[in-house]
Amino acid sequence: MENVVELKNVTKAFKGFSVKNMDLQVKKGFVTGFIGANGAGKSTTIKLMMNLLKPDAGEVKLFGLDYKTHEKAIKERIGFVYDGNVFFEGLNLKDIKRIVSPAYKNWDDIIFSEYIDKFQLPLHKAIKTFSKGMQMKASLAIALSHHAELIIMDEPTAGLDPIFRRELLNLLQELMVDGNRTIFFSTHITTDLDRIADYIAFIHGGELVFNQSIHEIAENYALVKGGVELLDRDTEKDFVHIHRTSAGFQALTDNMKAVKHTFGDMVVIERASLEDIMYNFKGGMHHV
């Protein structure tokens, strides 16, 4: 399968925080959701993909090209949406379009006006008067109007009301009908992903924990409940995190098959939601 984004062994260190040995592939034609707690390194990773940050070590490739020699060609093919407004806030959408559109060879005014109509955005009002949702719609309209093959979004749903969040997710789904598009977006609202993501990449403490299809995650990860007497050094191996109470234990496993094999019917195995997975990783990975 073709990868649109490829991070190989990428490391980027800051004071007190770093992204370490990141190996991440984003597959062409799919929606990849990028999850992790606040401060896990999601925005840093996205900035590395956009060449806003340069890695200390490792390799970043988009569409098989590297930024050193093909920066413009790569960015022509990306539509970006950031968490905050990056457009000149004193300008109206019409002027912003006049600044942004000449940058792209494939800019399409017709598509842009379609989105403006669809999102009911005013062209002559300053961006700073827009609500958070309208600002998001405006960035989205700009990101989608140059036939980008890859849409990168940093927390697009943060701060949006549930109705618009759902509209946005529907819109993203519509975009994916064209099989050449790839969407990569970060979020900490995991319920967004159940609806549209094909792959989930999970980052924790600057390290990529996994990048698997929704299907694989459902096969591998599970919540396991049972009596504490079942736990010992050997059986604990298959758990990522164990929570013990007097009544028994609840644990997250990343190897459901092994757990079934070890415990059989003595434990209850439940589907782990993405939130369960994120929560159980919070205390750090304990392969106890």
Partner 1 sequence: MFNLIRRDVILQKKQLLMFIPFILFFIIMDAHPALIFLVASIFIPFNTYAYDEKAETNILLNSLPYTRREIIASRYLGAIVYMVLAVGVTSLALAAFNKSFSMTDIAIGSGLFLLFAALTFPLFYIFKPGYISAAVMIGFLFLAGVGPRIVLFIAEHTTAITDFIASLSTPALYTGAAAAITALYAASWGVTHIIYQRKAF
Contacting positions for partner 1 (CB under 8 A): 47, 50-54, 71-73, 75-76, 78, 80, 82, 84-88, 91, 95, 98-100, 102-105
Nearer to partner 1, 78 or 224 (CB): 78
From the centroid of its chain, how far is CA 116? 26
Smallest distance from the beta carbon of 129 to partner 1, in angstroms? 16
Nearer to partner 1, 61 or 241 (CB): 61
Nearer to partner 1, 69 or 246 (CB): 69
Q: Strand 268-271 vs strand 57-62: parallel, antiparallel, or unpaired?
A: unpaired
Name the phi and psi angles at 26, rounded to 5. -110, 120
At residue 280, the 3 state secondary structure works out as helix
Smallest distance from the beta carbon of 55 to partner 1, in angstroms? 11
220 near 254, Cβ under 8 Å? yes
Nearer to partner 1, 86 or 123 (CB): 86
Smallest distance from the beta carbon of 67 to partner 1, in angstroms? 9
Nearer to partner 1, 54 or 282 (CB): 54
Nearer to partner 1, 37 or 91 (CB): 91
Q: What is the dihedral of CA 271, 276, 281, 282, to 10 degrees?
A: -170
Q: Rounded to an integer, what distance in angstroms lies between the CA atom of residue 195 and that of residue 220?
A: 19
Nearer to partner 1, 100 or 230 (CB): 100
Q: Which residues pair with 18 in a beta bridge?
A: 13
Query: Hey, what are 15's tokens?
Result: 């004071």
Angle, CA of 41, 44 and 48, to the nearest 5°: 135
Q: Rounded to an integer, what distance in angstroms lies between the CA atom of residue 32 and that of residue 200?
A: 6
Smallest distance from the beta carbon of 156 to partner 1, in angstroms? 15
Smallest distance from the beta carbon of 66 to partner 1, in angstroms? 13
Three-state secondary structure along 33-93? EEECCCCCCHHHHHHHHCCCCCCCEEEEEECCEEHHHHHHHHHHCEEEECCCCCCCCCCEH
| Residue 26 to residues 34, 80, 121, 183, 191, Cα–Cα distance (Å) | 10, 15, 32, 9, 20
Smallest distance from the beta carbon of 169 to partner 1, in angstroms? 23
Smallest distance from the beta carbon of 225 to partner 1, in angstroms? 45
